[in-house]
Amino acid sequence: MSDSFQTIPGTFDILPDAQSSSAGTVAPSHAWQHVEGTIRRVMQRHGVREIRTPILEPTALIARGIGQLTDIVSKEMFAFERGDAHYVLRPEVTAPVMRAYLQHHLAQLGGVQRLFYVGPCFRAERPQKGRYRQFHQFGTEYIGADDARADAETILLAVDIYRELGLTDFTVRLNSLGTAATRPAYKAALTAYLRPLAGQLSETSRERLESNPLRILDTKSEAERKLLEAAPVMLDFIDEESRAHYKDVKKHLEAAGLSFEEDPFLVRGLDYYTRTAFEIDSPVLGAQSTLAGGGRYDLLASEIGSKQEVPAVGFAAGMERLFLALEAAGIVLPEAAAPDVFVVTLGDRATDHAFPLIRAWRQSGLSVVYDLKGRSMKAQMREANRQQARRVVILGDAELDAGMAQLKQMDTGEQQSVPLSGLPGLLSAAT
């Protein structure tokens, strides 16, 4: 073990078969395919189209996009340089998607761009349950929309994906952060309220009192939460338009029959959010309880160089956390598809003869497998059983001479002798 290579801490392999090893694989590859398939299907129904952006982005895009002072940028990025160029492995994909929107002048296409993505992101944090250094996010970005329906649809889209997967045990929390113009007043009020209480705050919260007081709002400390109970509330400070927007978002969510909680202390870790902010939490995830988070980010485009303001709203969700939640909920994902046919051969002539036949059957759309180790018939049958092949074709030299083959139905054990020429028809017929 000492000389061999392993995955880098906080990363993992996704294997075809479930493995409950310590350096866990989270879920087997077919489970990933199933979940991703569900995501794509629900996205498709909403008219949301896929965008794929590079893993590698310019460091400045991320730094300016999500805020120089955020922890992600200040200490959690995998960044490096070559020559004069500075690169990062993307820690999230909202800024890259907005970059693509601006770079390709997607606004010129008219209307709202409804985009989604699924793919890996990277953060140099210490791994723990539900948190990895290479992790996978899916999410949407509705770019060019300031309508409150876009905010509501974004939230409902995430909810629909979870429900379609069978997940029901989660809560949606909602807040409005107002605009860049109204935030300073709230910040000042919050700071004024907390300053006299500084003695009772944790060290990090005391530091934030000066740097980023809003982040104190989502402290985990019981004591601090108590102090915050009487704190001024953001909603009282936001402008009329934001208030109306927030009201509309709630109206649409209610019309859709979604139950949600208003959480006046919900803030998000990235700087670009305005107005709507939301989180979807699962009670089963332990310390990393956030399944998905998102909101409106009308400032981002300008932040990364757009001359025009571009209203936008979206969410990002963690794949790994989704798998944890599914498992905790006892939701069993479909098994990987079993092969239609397993071909057992006996003797060199039959083995050689089968090779092109197998290829032809595969070309006709069947899933066909066979043993590549030249093993005994018994071993080949065992393998067929292990792979849960529905049918087995047995071809030996004796059959070959007679132009026949044995066709065995594995679930019933029924076996019949059939002419080789008739096999393609029999195999492609339904069980």
Contact set for RNA, span 360-399 (CB under 7 A): 375-379, 381-386, 392, 394, 396-399
Does position 21 bind RNA by CB under 7 A?
A: yes
Torsion sign, CA atoms 297, 313, 115, 10: positive
Output DSSP code: residue 294: E
Output DSSP code: residue 57: E
| Interacting span for RNA (CB under 7 A) from 39-47, 54-62, 178-186, 280-288 | 280-288
Question: Between residue 258 and residue 277, which ones bind RNA under the rule CB under 7 A?
Answer: 268-270
User: If you search the block for the tokens 């009487």, which residue do you land on?
Assistant: 230
Round to whole Å and give the CA distance between 427 and 431.
8
Q: How far is the CB of 346 from RNA (least distance, A)?
A: 5
Torsion angles phi and psi, residue 358, rounded to 5:
-60, -40
Does position 408 bind RNA by CB under 7 A?
A: yes
Quick one: which of 118, 159, 228, 317 contacts RNA (CB under 7 A)? 317
Does position 24 bind RNA by CB under 7 A?
A: yes
Looking at beta carbons only, is 207 or 254 nearer to RNA?
207
Q: How far is the CB of 369 from RNA (least distance, A)?
A: 14
* Helix, strand, coil content of the chain in percent (nearest 5): 40, 20, 40
105 φψ region: left (φ > 0), alpha (ψ -120 to 50), beta (else) = left
Does position 199 bind RNA by CB under 7 A?
A: no
| Interacting span for RNA (CB under 7 A) from 100-108, 177-185, 257-265, 283-291 | 283-291
Output DSSP code: residue 52: -
Quick one: which of 299, 320, 341, 358 contacts RNA (CB under 7 A)? 320
Using an 8 Å Cβ cutoff, are 287 and 237 in contact?
no
Using an 8 Å Cβ cutoff, are 301 and 312 in contact?
yes
Looking at beta carbons only, is 108 or 287 nearer to RNA?
287
Question: Between residue 129 and residue 188, which ones bind RNA under the rule CB under 7 A?
Answer: 129-132, 135, 137
Looking at beta carbons only, is 311 or 396 nearer to RNA?
396
| Interacting span for RNA (CB under 7 A) from 68-76, 106-114, 231-239, 246-254 | 68-76
Quick one: which of 82, 230, 411, 425 contacts RNA (CB under 7 A)? 411
Round to whole Å and give the CA distance between 63 and 304.
9
Q: What is the largest CA-CA distance in the chain?
A: 96
Instruction: Count CA atoms closer than 13 A to 392's CA, side-chain side.
Output: 25
Looking at beta carbons only, is 34 or 131 nearer to RNA?
131
Does position 211 bind RNA by CB under 7 A?
A: no
Does position 201 bind RNA by CB under 7 A?
A: no
Strands 312-318 and 134-143 come out as antiparallel
| Interacting span for RNA (CB under 7 A) from 4-12, 103-111, 180-188, 227-235 | 4-12
Q: How far is the CB of 105 from RNA (least distance, A)?
A: 27
Q: How far is the CB of 230 from RNA (least distance, A)?
A: 21
Q: How far is the CB of 200 from RNA (least distance, A)?
A: 15
Q: Is 110 helix (H, G, I), strand (E, B) or coil?
A: coil
Q: Rounded to the nearest 10 degrees, what angle do helices 240-255 and 148-164 cross at?
A: 40
Written as six digits, the tokens of 354 are: 């089968």
Q: How far is the CB of 377 from RNA (least distance, A)?
A: 5
Round to whole Å and give the CA distance between 249 and 268.
18
Does position 413 bind RNA by CB under 7 A?
A: yes
Round to whole Å and give the CA distance between 33 and 10.
21
Round to whole Å and give the CA distance between 76 and 169.
31
Does position 70 bind RNA by CB under 7 A?
A: yes
Q: How far is the CB of 281 from RNA (least distance, A)?
A: 9
Quick one: which of 289, 302, 306, 367 contacts RNA (CB under 7 A)? 289
Contacts with RNA by CB under 7 A: the residue count is 78
Round to whole Å and give the CA distance between 343 and 306.
60
Quick one: which of 286, 306, 329, 369 contacts RNA (CB under 7 A)? 286
